[in-house]
Amino acid sequence: MKILVVGQGGREHAIVWKLSTSEQNHIYCAPGNGGINDLAQCVEFKKIEDLIDFALKEKIHLTIVGPEVYLADGIVDEFEKHGLKIFGPNKMAAMIESSKVFAKLLMAKYGIPTAKFEIFDDPNLAHRYVSKVEGPIVVKADGLAAGKGAVVARSKESAHKAIDDIMNRRIFGEAGKRVVIEEFLQGEEVSILAFCDGKTIIPMVSSMDYKKAYDNDLGPNTGGMGSVAPCPFYSEETAKYVYDNILAKTIEALENEGIKYKGVLYAGLMLTKVGPKVLEFNCRFGDPETQVILMLLKNDLLEIMQATVEGMLNSCSIGWLDEKAVCVVLVSGGYPDAYKTGFEISGLEKARKNTVIFHAGTKKINGRIFTNGGRVLNVCARSQSYEQARKIVYDTIKHIHFENIYYRKDIALNL
């Protein structure tokens, strides 16, 4: 099978790694990174049309899309116009992530549990609203903001600043034309990803990510500083409720709106005292949740993806290892704000058994690996307990060095 994976981060490296366990697969990755090119042939491109031309020329059997930006731009629609098979939701379905307003209105219409909210396209009205409500509240940019578009405002001053930053200063560009302002939910967070073929939806093992930059969940939001699977707070009873009242209900709601959802549906949930509520939906594999999830997947990933694309997911029986997986993200100092790249990385060959190092922001030059992004490496391990997996990860990290390296020290601590 010829497979094309689109993306260049740790999530894509994890997908390529899992697909590479079958020797029958010939994998391309566009554009890939310094670690991915050990497992796949990396391909440069400038626009979606370049990928279509490549897929047609090379007779690619299946394309798998990692980043949400390509899904939001309609890569699935364009590939399907050319008769190419591609894993991921089309542009309309991707609005579940690309528009917070769309997602919130859908949930409100169909009774899917989520935080109470208001929508504003006028910053003055948004300012007026937050002056009247009690905090804390959450201010969210409507569009895509690389996981950084939600601000928890614990004071009126921070709420007003968030509105100005998003709507007036446009720190997230066009994503800030509208904002959603919602109540602040308290509880434990969990990430539930599910394969969906438009009718059938099959949840993956639960996971949990660490979004804050610093230990003890302090600092700004990031794209993710670590993750674990399964989530220790997610019971079978909760899983059944989520399946019935959130996952299946969302797919049915989309279908009622004339949208067939195929690919991965990601539900970011808060387990509140009154039950699970949706914080956000994503239209693709999470990052860094994918890294720990795929370490526990028993099945051939390609077979699941093919069944998803072909509407045959109901024929799949998906199994998971009865183990714990932990991921710690190594970042460039200064991330998620200003950071420098181009530093050589050493110690990667020291990975231990049951450890996998996924590259997120790296490039290979003359056989040497250099930093090339904010999130640089994902050090992952699985074992019989969180504690054992955590120890393997942090023991491995001791051997890895690059200038201005930073990582959280509390991932999977005391689970």
Domains of the chain: 2-90 (3.40.50.20), 116-183 (3.30.1490.20), 188-315 (3.30.470.20), 324-406 (3.90.600.10)
| Ramachandran category for residue 7: left, alpha or beta (phi over 0 → left; psi -120 to 50 → alpha) | left
Place of tokens 């399964």: 230
Count CA atoms closer than 13 A to 402's CA, side-chain side: 27
Helix (H, G, I), strand (E, B) or coil at 121: coil
Whether a cis peptide bond, with omega within 30° of 0, leads into 136 is: yes
In this prediction, residue 221 carries a pLDDT of: 85
| Cβ-proximal residues to 55 (8 Å cutoff; 6+ apart), any chain | 4, 63, 79, 82, 84
Mean pLDDT of the chain: 96
Instruction: Give the whole-angstrom CA distance, residue 68 versus residue 16.
Output: 17
Residue 393 has pLDDT above 90, yes or no: yes
C-alpha distances out from residue 193 to 158, 198, 262, 286, 292, Å:
32, 15, 13, 8, 12
Question: pLDDT tens digits, residue range 236-274?
Answer: 999 999 999 999 999 999 999 999 999 999 999 999 999
In this prediction, residue 146 carries a pLDDT of: 77
Question: pLDDT tens digits, residue range 299-330?
Answer: 999 999 999 999 999 999 999 999 999 999 99
| Cβ-proximal residues to 32 (8 Å cutoff; 6+ apart), any chain | 8, 12, 16, 40, 42, 43
Confidence of residue 211 (pLDDT cuts 50, 70, 90): very high
In terms of Cβ atoms closer than 10 Å to its own Cβ (0-12, 13-18, 19+), residue 358 is buried
Confidence of residue 191 (pLDDT cuts 50, 70, 90): very high
Nearest to 12 by CA among 284, 228, 214: 284
Helix (H, G, I), strand (E, B) or coil at 407: coil
- H or E element in which residue 12 lies: helix 10-19
Structure tokens at 277: 């509520």
Question: pLDDT tens digits, residue range 133-163?
Answer: 988 999 999 999 877 788 999 999 999 999 9
Structure tokens at 394: 């942090």
In this prediction, residue 178 carries a pLDDT of: 97
Q: Region 205-224: what's the mean pLDDT? A: 94
In this prediction, residue 24 carries a pLDDT of: 85
Terminal CA-to-CA distance of the chain, rounded, Å? 40
Structure tokens at 99: 């528009």
The pTM of the full predicted model, rounded to 2 decimals, is: 0.96
Q: Region 329-352: what's the mean pLDDT? A: 93
Query: What's 215's DSSP letter?
Result: G
In this prediction, residue 243 carries a pLDDT of: 98
